[in-house]
Structure 1
Amino acid sequence: MRVYLPCTLPGLARAVTVGELGPGPLSGFAVTPALVEWYVSGDTEELEYVALMEAARASLRMLAADLADGFDAPARRVVVAAEVPDSAVLVSPDLNDRGRVRVQESVPLGKLAAVHVDDVDAQEDVAAAVSALSSADDGDDDAQFIVDSADAHELLWYATQEIPDILP
């Protein structure tokens, strides 16, 4: 199963150092039955894009958590696409968590299919989105607009052999 795992650049660097993303369980996103039911008119490519963007939003939350912990990570969303055995993936039973999955084990670097990362030009909007997340969660429409503006930046696609080139 193709799973989209939210990450950060420091998290990706750690994965390269240890040879895997993990340890499990890891939160991720995939084309699940609930996602297919919600997005009835979408083909596989569109559904995978939705899962990718959900993982990108989760990457924003990881950046916010790092910032809250006093860790300054580059304000760039990172999503790792990996091929994970179906047996290692638990699909959320909550229909409101349309594409959310739980990968029960670590993911070796050899199972990565690609990495999606914001361009450096997106950092200002991503940093603003990270700062606005809490207010957006509290229902502030202006803050939600700022968070949504990060989605206007397309994530760049990198082959796994290019990972060293994107690390800080």
Structure 2
Amino acid sequence: APRRRIVVAVDVADGAVTAASDGGAEPGEVTVKVTVPLAKAAAVHADADDAERAVTAAARALAAADGGDEAAQTVVDEAEDHELLWFATQELPNLLGRP
């Protein structure tokens, strides 16, 4: 399958999440402690087709970037240059390739 970043936005109670505690956590990164059905999704954000090559390269470079390799970090950063598209929940079947 093509590599793409996918973000599913959901609303959960404050007690259902904990702040990420590892040193590599991004600001605002949380861990959801409960199972959230996909039907509870508020929106989905996904890469466009033109991001596939950059996201694939970033996935391959991620471990090295996490280890401090600056060239690998540049590859990861290039994927972040692609803005995520917004999809309403009604569009999920088409996004997943299920008419």
CA distance in 2 between counterparts of 1:150 and 1:105 reads 29
Residue 69 of structure 2 corresponds to 140
Cα deviation, residue 86, structure 1: 1.6
| Offset from partner CA, 1:99-142 (integer Å, 9 cap, x none) | 22222211123321100000011101111111111221222211
Where 1:153 maps in the other structure, the secondary structure is coil
- Contact 1:84–1:111, Cα closer than 8 Å, also in 2: no
CA gap of 1:96–1:140, structure 2 versus 1, over 3 A, is closer
Root-mean-square deviation over aligned CA pairs: 1.9
Where 1:105 maps in the other structure, the secondary structure is coil
The answer as to 2:2 corresponding to 1:74 is yes
CA gap of 1:83–1:141, structure 2 versus 1, over 3 A, is same
Where 1:161 maps in the other structure, the secondary structure is helix
- Contact 1:133–1:144, Cα closer than 8 Å, also in 2: yes
The answer as to 2:66 corresponding to 1:162 is no
Unaligned runs of 5+ in 2: none
Unaligned runs of 5+ in 1: 1-72
More divergent stretch after superposition (150-159 vs 130-139): 130-139
Cα deviation, residue 95, structure 1: 8.1
- Contact 1:76–1:117, Cα closer than 8 Å, also in 2: yes
TM-score by length of 2: 0.84
Quick one: which of 47, 50, 57 aligns to 1:128? 57
Where 1:102 maps in the other structure, the secondary structure is strand
Aligned length: 96
CA gap of 1:150–1:93, structure 2 versus 1, over 3 A, is closer
CA gap of 1:92–1:130, structure 2 versus 1, over 3 A, is closer
CA distance in 2 between counterparts of 1:96 and 1:122 reads 24
